[in-house]
Amino acid sequence: MDTAKKIRVLLADDQSILADGIRSVLSSCSEIEVVGIAADGFEALEMLEKYKSDVILMDIRMPNMNGVIATQEVKRRHPEVKVLILTTFDDSDYILNAINNGASGYLLKDTSSAALIDAIRNAYAGDTILPAKIARRIADAAKMVSTDREIRLKRAFSLSDREVEIALMIYEGFTNKQIASALKLTDGTSRNYISAIYVKLGVSSRSDAVAKMKETIG
């Protein structure tokens, strides 16, 4: 691959020894060019403007501006730039925040050299990079949140299982038609459930229902 078509990678990591090691690994790949190393999120944003990187390898815990906030800002300014979160911490909250802020994936620093290079190639191509154990952690975290919400709604408003399911869909912004379609209900049956939910919540509108649930489940 010629120089014009190399994947331009920016590293953002406050631990210079690790960053130098990653740069050394990536320099062995003829398809990748490391254009710079930033020590925090602010410097990463400055260097991105200067070097126009294709992919940023972003450490999640850095001083001044962490990787989650930096990722959000990168995607706001340059939505086409791919951000791969690279860290030693497989923490589900950080994972979810990074992905929600536009990261293309998440890698642990103990990943192999070959896997790192493949991840950069794949992220550049538009794929989402989630190693199996991280994907499981996200699924488990989402399941725990969902279960916690269901329990809170049931206890607070004496909702049935089906009513809880529909109430959460209302909370997430689904329309009546979308709820009916997703749950294979007639429009009339869907409206009846929603009316019953409003009665149990003590509200008369969708916006009031959402506000009431927000007080209960956050």
For residue 2, what pLDDT is reported? Answer: 47
pLDDT tens per residue across all 218 residues of the chain? 444 589 999 999 999 999 999 999 999 999 999 999 999 999 999 999 999 899 999 998 888 888 888 999 999 999 999 999 987 766 666 777 777 788 888 888 888 999 999 999 999 999 888 777 667 766 666 666 667 888 889 889 999 988 998 998 898 888 888 888 888 889 999 999 999 999 999 999 999 999 999 998 87
- For residue 66, what pLDDT is reported? 87
DSSP H helices, 52-130, are: 67-77, 92-100, 113-124
CA 91 to chain CA centroid, Å, is: 13
Cβ-contact 149, 168 below 8 angstroms: yes
What count of other Cβ atoms lies within 10 Å of the Cβ of residue 16?
10
Q: How many angstroms from the chain centroid is the CA of residue 84?
A: 11
Backbone angles phi, psi at 157, to 5 degrees: -125, 5
Q: Which structural domains are found in the chain, ordered by start?
A: 3-130 (3.40.50.2300), 142-217 (1.10.10.10)
pTM, entire model = 0.62
Strand order in the sheet with 105-108: 32-38, 7-12, 55-59, 82-87, 105-108
